[in-house]
């Protein structure tokens, strides 16, 4: 009998085999543009995976970042590495994964955020397009990231439920893509 299960764990608790499966999933779900730095971005926080017969077929990661809305800092769960195996897409697996991510965000963080080109997928799940200007903090310098404005989405709740989506939004710089 084929068994599928949704599980949540930290990178620190992940087995080498499981991380290898997640990496393998990215190789098939994303095009060649998935870089080593993109891989680094999914590590260090939480993973939500769906396994089918012990094999990872869907994944999302949540890593902790500080995002500032106008001048107010939020302990943010930043979502990375959302992928479903190409042979299993449009079965609701990505939505199930993001539903578990949403529970995780609400229990551990003050705000959810991510950057994407597939807005429709996230909008159905309650995520909002950021409408204000985005920036990245390089040490003490705030640099405008105009090209990222259209991709950033947020999931406000609890302490962030009333944030103004037209405000400025900034993140800290990191190796690779900042957003
Ligand atoms: C985006 C992705 C994770 C969706 O996973 P999934 O398991 O197919 O998602 P679901 O089956 O839960 O989709 C539910 C609904 O979301 C929407 N949706 C799903 N994939 C979509 C896409 N690529 N573009 C736009 N809308 C999409 C559809 O409305 C879909 O409902 P439908 O099948 O009844 O039309 C998957 O397409 C994927 O792995 N893509 C490649 C990697 C990627 O781009 N990841 C996102 C990076 S931010």
- Average pLDDT, 10 consecutive residues per value, the chain (179 residues): 83 98 96 88 98 97 98 98 98 98 98 98 98 96 96 98 98 96
The residue with tokens 């609890």 is: 158
- Whether residue 151 contacts residue 128, with contact meaning beta carbons closer than 8 Å, is answered with no
The Cα 168–Cα 70 span in angstroms is 5
Q: Is 83 in the pocket of ligand 1 (CB under 6 A)?
A: yes
- What distance lies between CA 107 and its chain's CA centroid? 16
What fold characterizes domain 4-172?
Aminopeptidase (3.40.630)
Distance 177 CA to ligand 1 centre (A): 22
Q: Whose CA is nearest to atom 26 of ligand 1?
A: 121
Q: Model-level pTM?
A: 0.96
Write down the pLDDT at residue 60: 98
For the chain, the structural domain boundaries read 4-172
- Judge whether 178 and 147 are in contact, CB under 8 Å: no
Query: Nearest CA to 112 among 168, 61, 49?
Result: 61
62 neighbors 13 (Cβ within 8 angstroms):
no
Pocket test for ligand 1, best of 97, 121, 124, 125 (most atoms within 8 A of CB): 121
What digits encode the pLDDT tens for the residues 104-147? 999 999 999 999 999 999 999 999 999 999 999 998 899 999 99
């Amino acid at each position: 009998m084929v068994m599928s299960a949704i599980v949540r764990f930290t990178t620190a608790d992940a087995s080498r085999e499981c991380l290898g499966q997640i990496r393998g999933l990215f190789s098939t779900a994303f095009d060649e543009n998935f870089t080593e730095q993109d891989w680094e971005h999914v590590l260090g926080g939480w993973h939500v995976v769906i396994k089918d017969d012990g094999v990872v077929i869907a994944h999302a990661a949540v890593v902790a970042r500080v995002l500032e809305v106008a001048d107010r800092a939020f302990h943010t769960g930043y979502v990375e590495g959302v992928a479903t195996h190409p042979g299993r897409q449009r079965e609701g697996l990505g939505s199930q994964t993001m539903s578990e991510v949403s529970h995780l965000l609400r229990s551990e963080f003050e705000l959810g955020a991510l950057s994407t080109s597939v807005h429709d997928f996230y909008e159905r799940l309650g995520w909002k397009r950021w409408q204000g200007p985005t920036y990245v903090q390089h040490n003490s310098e705030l640099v405008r990231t105009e090209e990222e404005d259209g991709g950033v989405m947020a999931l406000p709740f609890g302490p962030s439920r009333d944030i103004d989506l037209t405000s400025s939004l900034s993140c800290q710089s990191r190796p690779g893509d900042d957003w």
